Structure 1
């Protein structure tokens, strides 16, 4: 627009020559001879690719048009004011930072960049065998550091039963048997208290945050539960449907629409999270001990007191598939990895089996990909991190009974938690959204570990 209204430098000089009756040669004619002479010299050299876009106004701007003397800069005697401002910026940038590969017009540099992109693509494709590099999580030793306890500001929750990291904010919700739930900041240093909720005569056995982090559900062994709006700081008491006696153990679907609550005598109740309506009740043999949803909220894996793992279809409202957990007598907990490729099961005997997700539906007696026997007592918790590279397993029957396994090598870290670290009895555990922190819930304290391989919260 500026060029149309005012004209550029070349147009101004041409019009000025016409006003005095002279004809000014064009820049292309004046430089034509020079281009013919230099053409032979560049004929044998490798030609660079042309830029996709060029701004002619950049060539007209000089240093003197931009750089002005002020009381802060003083006299600009060290600058050539007739020099191109574009060339000045280019030379200044190259002195401090080398030219990146993406900005080079050389074909060789472009080819190298495309190779690195292909390599990154191959690394993320699951069915291609890719060798681990230095930037990947190493399988032998875990680089971690224990920081200050997550609930160090109060220690008022009592026996910690649930730890929920907020999906978008650097905060965590810790609840316990004293009926107190507290929101803490997560920085590993101060871990200050932001807000607390006190439920009288209502010991908190299970707490879950919605996927968007706006609400929290609190369950106990009463015939009602609480829905808490974190934005408005308002609690709502909800009465359970008549056929449901308690809500001491439940899971929230990834879509946020369903609540799966364990009932008595093998019953599993599916409740609408918005309307509190009972949608369906599944029946299985043995008491429900553990459950988890798939990422699309279409299936529900349930482990009972027997050796069977049932796959329940939410849409069809029936048991879709059932298989026997290898080497299990009494099943306790089941967990699905975020990449939907690995399924981990834990038993009362302390055995943790890891199955390939696709092989589960092909047989009623699938063989596990890996079997961990590092813990001697019943498994209480299983948790994958967000990249499915770490599997945390723990037992609450003996102190310091917690282990971390690495995938895809399927090896257990020998240096975690370490002989010097005393974490006590672990009732629950949880990874932060980007696996930067691992929290372990004990009788009163919540030990917090910083996993240094993951840079973000």
Structure 2
């Protein structure tokens, strides 16, 4: 037994002994003898709470002792747990391998100088450590990923907090993991290509997947890689191809090689690591590379040809593997996520799905309300397929239902744009669909899914974004790039998404 239980039994025995003494005194005063228990109970009645708890003074004294000992034990346990937490935190904290005194001695005023891009530096603290400035800027651009965060919170405490909230009637917090359908929070940053504007009419924008940089190409034959920080967007590298207007540029999934196509009978493959360019001549029957796509696996390259031909190349050896044929000219191409099928939109109402394993037409369906197709995109999860037409209609289909019917009905038809659709693009979660038309200025809309509604507050900068011909989301949708025909690439920061 514990000490508290022993004390309780002792108190109870004392009360019984006191009770017996009182009975004896009472009987002695009355001249009676304790002959039977029933007779004694008739003569004198003692309250039951006194038998159980004892006198009031003793009860309070026992309570005071018990509370004091409990507080003492609790404080000792808390002190021990705090010491263990401090020890664990100190043991898990990584120490630098070496330190440089210049990191703390160099001030920001010694490094930062006003330039023609930044202007005067009056808003910057000149006495601030340069290392602190660089660290803050890096964290703001590339925040710490969730997998690197260490959470030492006890799971039992989380369960208790959740049970408490359910008991006392607190309202649960709103879900912040999904994009809200009513209002799009975004911020316009400095133009992505503000360091040069040398690309001319922008035809392609490709975000490099493994670094915060983007590749911009245009009709002047110049392609440039820009860093993305939202403030300067400095130029990192530039490639110039003589007499070669770039009409389409694509990055391989590895992000180390770029392929540039034009109206010429040859194309370029550029190695971004070694800064070497390789020129390849197109095979017989392929006249140009105005429009092409690279498969997600990086093995295949699909090129839109003339007279309804769609040519399949090996992206490594640059050899022609096979040519698919459809009745009308190819307007847009996209691969499925498993790289086993190619979806081709045509200058008619037909959309064809070709199988790469069987090397034949697998399925064909009619795009509802479309006369001439112009753009197309498939979401990364292969759930939604968006098709745009020259009539200004954007249809969104359930891709699983499309493969089961020759005339499927779209889940949603967007009629917000009245001119020919130039580009449609899903973000990485398929929550946002960007659609644009290059025919008129500021012809740009973003639709939300699964609500299938258009954000009413986008865009608000209608006067100065120009005619948008191409749109592109960053790998994790934190940035949205809008390429216009007037040499500018507008850069937007979507605040809902945290990472590049």
Q: Does TM, scored on the shorter chain, surpass 0.5? A: yes
Q: Which residue number corresponds to residue 208 of structure 2? A: 166
What residue number does 2:283 align with? 241
CA distance in 1, matches of 2:163, 2:381: 30
Equivalent in the alignment of 2:494: 451
2:392 to 340, 345, 350: 350
Contact 1:308 1:323 (C-alpha < 8 Å) held by counterparts: yes
- Counterpart for residue 197 of structure 1: 239
Residue 223 of structure 1 deviates from its aligned partner by 1.0
* SS of equivalent residue, structure 1 residue 450: strand
In structure 2, relative to structure 1, the CA distance for the partners of 1:112 and 1:212 (3 Å cut) is farther
Structure 2 residue 145 is the aligned partner of structure 1 residue 103:
no
Q: Does 1:423 align with 2:417?
A: no
Q: Which secondary structure does the structure 2 equivalent of 1:280 belong to?
A: strand
CA 1:358–1:184 in structure 2 vs 1: closer, same or farther (change >3 Å)?
A: same
Equivalent-residue separation in structure 2 for 1:110 and 1:455 (angstroms): 27
Structure 1 residues 215, 86: CA separation in 2 closer, same or farther (over 3 Å shift)?
A: farther
Q: Which among 176, 185, 200 is matched to residue 227 of structure 2?
A: 185
Give the distance between the partners of 2:157 and 2:411, measured in 1 at CA.
48
Separation (CA, whole Å) in 2 of partners of 1:247 and 1:39? 90
Report what 2:369 is aligned to.
327
Cα distance between partner residues in 2 of 1:229 and 1:40: 84
Match of 1:434 in 2: 476
Q: Deviations over 1:349-387 (max 9, x none)?
A: 000000011110111000000000000001110100011
- Of stretches 134-143 and 408-417 in structure 1, the one that deviates more from structure 2 is 134-143
1:272 to 290, 311, 314: 314
Q: Kindly state the Cα deviation for residue 109 of structure 1 after the two structures are TM-superposed.
A: 3.7
Seen in structure 2, the aligned counterparts of structure 1 residues 86 and 421 have a Cα distance that, compared at 3 Å, is farther
Deviation at 1:112, TM superposition (A): 6.0
Tell me the number of residue pairs that the alignment of Structure 1 and Structure 2 aligns.
362
Helix, strand or coil at the partner of 1:343: strand
The question of whether the paired residues in 2 share the 8 Å contact of 1:285 and 1:306 is answered with no
Structure 1 segment 32-111 matched on structure 2, within 5 A:
36-37=2-3, 86-90=80-84, 103-105=154-156, 108-109=159-160
SS at match of 1:201: coil
Q: Distance between the aligned counterparts of 1:104 and 1:384, measured in 2? A: 37
Partners of 1:331 and 1:346 within 8 A in 2:
yes
Q: Which residue of 2 aligns with 1:414?
A: 456
Q: Distance in 1 between matches of 2:234 and 2:379?
A: 31
**Residue of structure 1 equivalent to 2:334:** 292
- Please list, as runs of the form range in 1=range in 2, the aligned pairs for 1:127-166 lying within 5 A after superposition: 133-166=175-208
Q: CA 1:83–1:177 in 2, change beyond 3 Å: closer, same or farther?
A: same
Classify 1:40/1:235 alpha carbon distance in 2 versus 1 (closer, same or farther; 3 Å): farther
* 1:72-109 alpha-carbon deviations (Å, 9 max, x no partner): xxxxxxxxxx999954525869xxxxxx7852557954
The CA distance in 1 between the partners of 2:325 and 2:206, in whole Å, is 29
d(CA) in 2 for partners of 1:132 and 1:83?
A: 37
Q: Within the alignment, does 1:212 sit opposite 2:254 as a pair? A: yes
Q: What is the distance in 1 between the residues matched to 2:406 and 2:388?
A: 18
Residues 1:313 and 2:307 aligned together: no
Report if aligned partners of 1:424, 1:442 keep a CA contact under 8 Å in 2: yes
Show CA shifts across 1:226-250 (max 9, x none).
0011111111111111121111110
Change (3 A) 1:109 1:148: same
Change (3 A) 1:275 1:419: closer
Q: After superposition, what is the alpha-carbon deviation per residue over 1:409-432, rounded to whole angstroms, capped at 9, x for unaligned?
A: 000011111155521011111001
Q: Paired residue for 1:232?
A: 274
TM-score by length of 1: 0.75
Question: What is the alpha-carbon distance in structure 1 between the residues aligned to residue 244 and residue 416 of structure 2?
Answer: 36
Counterpart among 394, 398, 403 of residue 440 in structure 2: 398
Cα 1:84–1:335, aligned 2, differ >3 Å: closer, same or farther? closer
Distance 1:86-1:436 versus aligned 2 partners, 3 A rule: same
5+ unaligned residues in a row in structure 1: which ranges? 1-34, 42-81, 94-99, 116-130
Aligned to 1:301: 343
**RMSD (Å) for aligned C-alpha atoms:** 2.7
> In 1, distance between residues paired with 2:264 and 2:6?
91
Larger helix share, 1 or 2: 2
The secondary structure found in structure 1 opposite 2:435 is strand
Structure 1 residues 83 and 417, CA gap change in structure 2 (3 angstroms) = closer
Match of 1:427, SS state, is: strand
